[in-house]
Amino acid sequence: MKQLSVLFAAVLLFFATGTVSAQKIATLDVESVLNAMPEKKAADEKLNALQKVKESEIKKQADDLQALVQKYQGEASKQTEAVNQQREQEVQKKQSDIQQMVQLAQKDMADKSSVEYAPIKKKFNEAVTAVA
């Protein structure tokens, strides 16, 4: 019985070492590899430029809305109730338009990011596969 236990342990040890030696293990700092790629730097610059454009458009609209609100608040006491209601609706529409601009800008940024980073991810994955 003792010989059977020793034989079983030896067989188990043999298979365990065979399995371990067949595995390849590696670590990779993906962020540092991607940051070193010139393609990623160019994509980041394009995305940052697009983000600045979108932010400036939204800021301009928000500033215009703020000026309009201040103007309407200053004139509210001199206007009729109907005019004030019309102006309030106009302000609400502009607020809604700005919210839509923000949502569209976020969608545009996500779409542009996917387009810009897709070839970079593909190149990275091909390089990792070639090394592995």
Angle subtended at Cα 38 by Cα 34 and Cα 39, rounded to the nearest 5 degrees:
80
Amino acid at 17: T
- The rounded distance, in Å, linking the Cα atoms of 22 and 95 is 62
pLDDT band at 30 (very low <50, low <70, confident <90, very high): confident
Q: What does the pLDDT look like over 60-109, one tens digit per residue?
A: 999 999 999 999 999 988 888 999 999 999 999 999 999 999 999 999 99
Q: What is the dihedral of CA 71, 72, 74, 77, to 10 degrees?
A: 160
Query: Whose structure tokens read 């030696």?
Result: 21
Report pTM: 0.69
| Inter-residue contact 94 to 68 (CB < 8 Å) | yes
The pLDDT, as a whole number, for residue 13 is 58
The residue with tokens 């980073």 is 117
**Is a pLDDT exceeding 60 seen at residue 3?**
no
Percent pLDDT > 90 in the chain is 54
Output the DSSP codes for 13-39: HHHHHHHHHH-------HHHHHHH-HH
